[in-house]
Amino acid sequence: MSQAFQNILIVSHSNIGDILHNMAVLKPLKKMFPNASITILTSSIGKTILEGNSYITQTLTFGRFGQQKKLKERLKLIWQLRKKKFDLVINLKSGSYLPYFLAPTTIWGIQSQDLILESKRTIHAIDLYLNVLRSQGIPITPQDLDLKISYSLEDQQKINTLLKDEGYDFQKPIVVIAPFSAWHAKELSPSVLGELTKKLTTIHQMQVVVIGGKADQTKMETLKYYKDYFLDLVGKTTLKELAALYTQTRLAIGCDSGPFHLATNMGTPALGIFSATPHFRARPYFTPTQVVSCDVNLGCNPCIPGPNFMECKVWNRTTPCMEAIPFNQIYEKTKEILNFN
């Protein structure tokens, strides 16, 4: 590459899962331009995730639903960014026109061939973002990827205290289950989730921990008949504490959600369960066979990305595509990964 950029801005996403996938570009970019200042524009939760990342010089935040929803505040942000005189803007948000208002020397973005429906359904999100660099001649090997988020000793101590307070037997290996999502169509059914916790606890002597955000706490009522088979940390951990938990986890099981993707970023063995979204896009990147997905053609699945969003019109319970995944398929795959007979 002929041009050595010195002042780089990355326009990142705002939600947890996409931010965790966006992180794939950081180490390769810093390796190619070791003297460059790298600024990333993201949400407040993105700033928390990226805190302590050694490849980033500065993190700036943008909240399109907060104060910066107002046009005046957006124009103020654009003016602040323009003053920084970035010579390269990397746009990881295909629908964002912000880079064009910043007058950088160069703009890199998502490749057009990666934006067609077939590509969106078959290309992993990490490769979608890495292709932005590959298209510019930047070589990338598996060793060039560093997806882990940093956490403190205090985070580690806090998660251990939480486990102890919940009654964790520190002699037992941990299985973390992340069953919830902001979109209910991705979620495991309570019966499948409950039976899985029961078998792992009673037959295999594992310590099951269920995690999620504060908004998921009301969903725990659906698991009341299985409460003796897991520790409930839903809404009780920060992302940093969850990262610390994953470092001592034997297996993470989850749907297509930010807390699940954090497990794969941390290098924790993971089993992804997919239905409404295609597993090719967000399955565990380094272990792509560790996935269970809906293999039944219901005529509408996957409904994102595509034209069939919620064609089933099932809004208040487990969706048909998730129900179509047999419990035994999930259980047998879990045992396979854990090396149980």
Tokens representing 292 are 């269970």
Share of the chain above pLDDT 90, in %: 88
- DSSP result, 77-146: HHHHHHHT--SEEEE--TT--GGGGS--SEEEE--GGGSSHHHHHHS-HHHHHHHHHHTTT----GGG--
Q: What pLDDT, on a 0 to 100 scale, did the predictor assign at position 3?
A: 75
CATH topology assigned to domain 153-338: Rossmann fold (3.40.50)
Q: Name the residue ranges covered by the structural domains of the chain.
A: 7-144, 153-338
The reported pTM is 0.94
Rounded average pLDDT over 57-74? 78
Q: What pLDDT, on a 0 to 100 scale, did the predictor assign at position 75?
A: 87
Q: What pLDDT, on a 0 to 100 scale, did the predictor assign at position 62?
A: 87
Contact present, 262 and 149 (Cβ < 8 Å):
yes
- What average pLDDT does the chain have? 94
Rounded average pLDDT over 81-96? 93
Q: What pLDDT, on a 0 to 100 scale, did the predictor assign at position 170?
A: 87
Q: What pLDDT, on a 0 to 100 scale, did the predictor assign at position 67?
A: 58
pLDDT band for 68, please (50, 70, 90 cuts).
Answer: low
Ranges 62-76, 197-211, 229-243: which has the least confidence? 62-76
Q: What pLDDT, on a 0 to 100 scale, did the predictor assign at position 4?
A: 87
7-144 placed in CATH 3.90.480.20:
no
pLDDT band for 1, please (50, 70, 90 cuts).
Answer: low
Indicate if 153-338 has the same CATH topology as 7-144.
yes
Ranges 60-64, 165-169, 312-316: which has the least confidence? 60-64
Torsion, CA 41, CA 47, CA 53, CA 59, rounded to 10: 40
